Structure 1
């Protein structure tokens, strides 16, 4: 049955005001994290020391600044590396600190400072992203109220929501959030459960219907029998799934960690051997130390680090200028590897707010006449469908007459006196049952509902005047975005939604999608993502709501629509489309693929240069200035190559 137009009933006017919702925890501020503060200090000291060093200023001017850079940015990874050594693990961060100290020992302070700054900034960004995700997950639990009104044989009592047991009955007044998952025992209302199912409209709830903790009750009072403990509620399971998915490591990440470990061990062993073996055969100490330090510098992965970061950071900066915030270099790299795309409906492919899509006037009435009367009757209401009707009338420039004797009944609709006539707007089932001569109206209702639209009937003096079709409008550019994602991924994009099958089918048809899965809860979306991953697919999920957050976290890559997206979805996703332009999603995927190609180019350049310098140092005699020149030259080369993606033309090419 279609959702109905309803507002606060007269009886609700005397109900006690609902308590204010629990305050969400404050988001972690940028400089609240010690990692960020230390990285900022290291970067500032380096940026001041660098030009002084290049201009030939005396050592007392830039030396202390380099010392501050080394200490601020290097103590934490150094300590972490020493801790890892106790567990018989050699961390690549420790290798970078040792390489930086080695460079400083032979006068190459710039090399060491650059290594320190790169790793300090990277660690700070990772710590900030992790902390903000944790903040958002904790905030999700505050959607459920901390207290509940439990009904007992003696009346009512206020208890902690966590104290509710299966079988208890709770009273949920208008405007309050539900404290537990359960079944409606008595009452009727409309419940906004977008945070769980993603449905754009409040769902009508009557005796026997299922309700979820954290969803918002509408205009009627409900008595709900508790079916699940607080720890087993849908919203608690969402939190658990996000935490579990966020804590796992992708296979690529695990592979890189193994490579880092082996590389670190190899460089350390080679450096020690290059220092100890010649000494054992009577070589000069100073010359041997200089050669070993030269090897440490040319073998350090400075160019390898820059081979990866500049293309990805340039792509991030370019995407940011065009309204897409990608949270990390790892996220940008993964976006380009997706082979399967799953998209939410409400708020992602569609705008997320209902609009009047069509007006079918019935015999004896005109479209504008019926719409103006309906809008006047709905003007006092705050229901989403009522606002859509009023907006449609105002867009047509219709004059709205003041309404009198307004009333509303949950599940039926509104009634008001408009211009001396009685106007009723609401559910076809409720209004047409008692109306004579309604065959034309019933046919129009059936046609609209078959199209997946919400049908609303307008009666004027008990005569059917019009049938309004309301629907969530498709975003501009959605069909084109779907087609481009299909081409990029090489597979049909899937529509995963908690909405009903008919509405989902209509949205899929309008956007050009054929794989449609409707009526899904958050865990169903996660199950679909995991099924694709077991088949070897790399999955991109695009969504905007709390109900999408587990799938965004479980996917290889997640993109959230930012303007109306939930806090949890925005924090969980790898990228956020700030301007809500759906066409930006395939563009950023294409830009990521271009960045991945440049990373490959840079890795080849860096590997050849480092390999050549290492062989030269081992097989012959590599002068330290030439080693530094070759090392820094390769670093600059790969850095400049990566910066090509900063140009505006790179985004334009990705958008084609």
Structure 2
């Protein structure tokens, strides 16, 4: 089976390969409609008592319109020495016509073609729910030139570092960061947030989201080809080409099963004539029915629709899952591990404590430190300046500023030589810097990486869906790691790790029989992301290597998505199991009826194709919002 990508009106339509019968594309829906019209016309002529040659001709035209495409696909498969379900159906229809039951054969062609068309229309919802995001991205944006003038340009031509003006009510033309203005932005189409969120200087915005009542100046951080919307579509395309383990197993046994059906059909044809005296026509009808009801159409369609619908649903909520295989494996997670810096924490320090020596106040220590740190680009320096700004302190200007590599910064403030440098402290839970004025210590400032607002609640959510304690893996020293773990409610702490140490720990846990899901963001997390059953990268500030290595990406760094993704995967697995049970039950029931009784061809066709449509429809239920927000399921 192959996947198809069709360009229509500037959009990319992705047709998942294992959902749609070979060669069945949207244009063939028209052929199914023509076949149905011809069938109804032939039936009307037959009931009206018209000459047999007339309604036979109409039925044969129905055969041609509804059966040419499946027949071609079946013959192509036969040339590759494989058996195709389409070929089995065509053979059954021709066999029916050969014994004079052209009506039954035409009915089989029509229902088979119509069910195939319905499968395409149903499963296309999964692809449309993702690829339609491309239509949300505006084609044009207002570019702000270096001299302040503006002009309208194509969004696809925007480059990283350029600035665009987003007026009230407009869609944002590129992924970027706000550098001027305040507004509320409706992000529901991309992230699933039900209410607009406030975006101001320093906040990220996404292409295709809708600006509210304020004007924003946005600096482009990603080209159009790498925007969140484009990545969602690309990842779903890739997911369509990578099969889940269950799907791979089904496709592996499909050929053997189809060959078995052919052999069994021959036996169903020959045994009644040899042992029970059945006529050739009665035995052939029973064999035709057997070939129809034993075909594995519904089994083949049981797996991919739920998994691809889940991938689309996760994508709408800001989680990019790279394959159906990943979506299936996530649900088996028993241990979740987090990197610390940039994952559990914001990845940026904040001032948590200030001490002052005799003769100095806390405010004076912070103000003079901020003065000398003002020109610095170091994260610690920016944190000190931010703390002074938050307190509205009056900060003097610095002269003779110098960066001291590996130590800190220095400069002259109000005629005094000021040095801000790191202080050695094995007991510190964060980073300690000392402030020196004219060679005398005047105070110290402690900075700690800030815990994300959602970390504690997200860890609690994870604990409800896994069977083992949550782990934290970090290269930071143990005291800092333990403090973060205690605040987040994490029991297992592994600190002072090199990248290979993280990968080793993950591998050890995997060998003990657990499936590990690791969440990280840095280059040093890449080996561990590869070692884990599922690697998940933080999308906003994750390194390129982490994003490329991970199996899934949390676009907006929402840690609540970890538990939600595990829950969604388990729901998808339940749908797959239900679909397989439905398909197997229908096949067993209809085969038993045919062998033990007298199953009419129309009823056999309706039952077989009806189960195929049912499993496809059942899978698309995972596109609903409730599939993402359902109550947390217990670990399995």
TM-score (norm 2): 0.63
Q: 1:582 deviation in Å? A: 0.5
Residue 499 of structure 1: which of 476, 481, 505 is its match?
Answer: 476
Correspondence for 1:379 = 374
State yes or no: 1:632 paired with 2:609.
yes
Q: Find the aligned partners of 2:250 and 2:596 in 1 and give their Cα distance.
A: 29
State yes or no: 1:111 paired with 2:112.
yes
State yes or no: 1:621 paired with 2:598.
yes
Correspondence for 2:519 = 542
* Counterparts of residues 296-315 of structure 1 (less than 5 Å): 296-315=291-310
State yes or no: 1:418 paired with 2:413.
yes
State yes or no: 1:263 paired with 2:245.
no
Correspondence for 2:555 = 578
- SS of residue in 2 equivalent to 1:43: coil
Are the counterparts in 1 of residues 523 and 546 from structure 2 also a CA contact under 8 Å?
yes
Are the counterparts in 2 of residues 560 and 576 from structure 1 also a CA contact under 8 Å?
yes
State yes or no: 1:393 paired with 2:392.
no
Deviations 1:369-421 (A, max 9, x none): 33232233223222222222233333333344332211122122211123333
**Cα distance change on mapping 1:428 and 1:484 into 2, 3 Å:** same
Correspondence for 1:433 = none
Deviations 1:620-645 (A, max 9, x none): 33222211211232233334444443
Q: Find the aligned partners of 2:37 and 2:603 in 1 and give their Cα distance.
A: 21
Correspondence for 2:347 = 352
Q: 1:560 deviation in Å? A: 2.1
Q: Find the aligned partners of 1:460 and 1:63 in 2 and give their Cα distance.
A: 94
State yes or no: 1:407 paired with 2:384.
no
Residue 535 of structure 2: which of 547, 550, 558 is its match?
Answer: 558
Correspondence for 2:330 = 335
State yes or no: 1:512 paired with 2:519.
no
Are the counterparts in 2 of residues 544 and 565 from structure 1 also a CA contact under 8 Å?
yes
Q: Find the aligned partners of 1:275 and 1:547 in 2 and give their Cα distance.
A: 65
- SS of residue in 2 equivalent to 1:426: strand
- SS of residue in 2 equivalent to 1:44: coil
Residue 26 of structure 2: which of 30, 44, 60 is its match?
Answer: 44
Q: Find the aligned partners of 1:114 and 1:499 in 2 and give their Cα distance.
A: 58
Residue 470 of structure 1: which of 426, 447, 468 is its match?
Answer: 447
Correspondence for 2:503 = 526
Q: Find the aligned partners of 1:53 and 1:359 in 2 and give their Cα distance.
A: 81
Correspondence for 2:362 = 367
Deviations 1:592-619 (A, max 9, x none): 2233233333322222111111222233
Q: Find the aligned partners of 1:560 and 1:47 in 2 and give their Cα distance.
A: 41
Q: Find the aligned partners of 2:582 and 2:341 in 1 and give their Cα distance.
A: 46
Q: Find the aligned partners of 1:68 and 1:548 in 2 and give their Cα distance.
A: 53
Are the counterparts in 1 of residues 309 and 622 from structure 2 also a CA contact under 8 Å?
yes
Q: Find the aligned partners of 2:437 and 2:410 in 1 and give their Cα distance.
A: 10
Q: Find the aligned partners of 1:96 and 1:524 in 2 and give their Cα distance.
A: 50
**Cα distance change on mapping 1:37 and 1:586 into 2, 3 Å:** closer
Deviations 1:107-159 (A, max 9, x none): 5366368669989x99xx9xxxxxxxxxxxxxxxxxxxxxxxxxxxxxxxxxx
Q: Find the aligned partners of 1:647 and 1:329 in 2 and give their Cα distance.
A: 18
Are the counterparts in 1 of residues 71 and 90 from structure 2 also a CA contact under 8 Å?
no
Q: Find the aligned partners of 1:379 and 1:62 in 2 and give their Cα distance.
A: 80
Q: Find the aligned partners of 2:280 and 2:415 in 1 and give their Cα distance.
A: 106
Correspondence for 1:180 = none
Residue 315 of structure 2: which of 311, 317, 320 is its match?
Answer: 320
- SS of residue in 1 equivalent to 2:631: helix
**Cα distance change on mapping 1:411 and 1:556 into 2, 3 Å:** closer
**Cα distance change on mapping 1:428 and 1:571 into 2, 3 Å:** closer
Q: 1:508 deviation in Å? A: 1.5
Are the counterparts in 2 of residues 609 and 630 from structure 1 also a CA contact under 8 Å?
yes
Gaps of 5+ in 1: 1-28, 126-247, 430-445
**Cα distance change on mapping 1:575 and 1:67 into 2, 3 Å:** farther
- SS of residue in 2 equivalent to 1:316: helix
Q: 1:283 deviation in Å? A: 7.5
Q: 1:66 deviation in Å? A: 6.9
Q: Find the aligned partners of 2:91 and 2:255 in 1 and give their Cα distance.
A: 20
The count of aligned residue pairs is: 475
**Cα distance change on mapping 1:49 and 1:115 into 2, 3 Å:** closer
Deviations 1:165-188 (A, max 9, x none): xxxxxxxxxxxxxxxxxxxxxxxx
Deviations 1:280-333 (A, max 9, x none): 899777776665454333223332244334433343333333222233333222
Q: Find the aligned partners of 1:36 and 1:290 in 2 and give their Cα distance.
A: 40
* Counterparts of residues 174-213 of structure 1 (less than 5 Å): none
Are the counterparts in 1 of residues 314 and 565 from structure 2 also a CA contact under 8 Å?
yes
Correspondence for 1:603 = 580
Q: Which has the higher contact order (CA 8 A, sep 6+)?
A: 1
Q: Find the aligned partners of 1:637 and 1:37 in 2 and give their Cα distance.
A: 19
Correspondence for 1:436 = none
- SS of residue in 2 equivalent to 1:565: coil
Q: Find the aligned partners of 1:556 and 1:593 in 2 and give their Cα distance.
A: 15
* Counterparts of residues 13-52 of structure 1 (less than 5 Å): 42-47=24-29, 49=31
Correspondence for 2:457 = 480
* Counterparts of residues 152-301 of structure 1 (less than 5 Å): 259-260=253-254, 262-275=256-269, 291-301=286-296
Are the counterparts in 2 of residues 304 and 606 from structure 1 also a CA contact under 8 Å?
yes
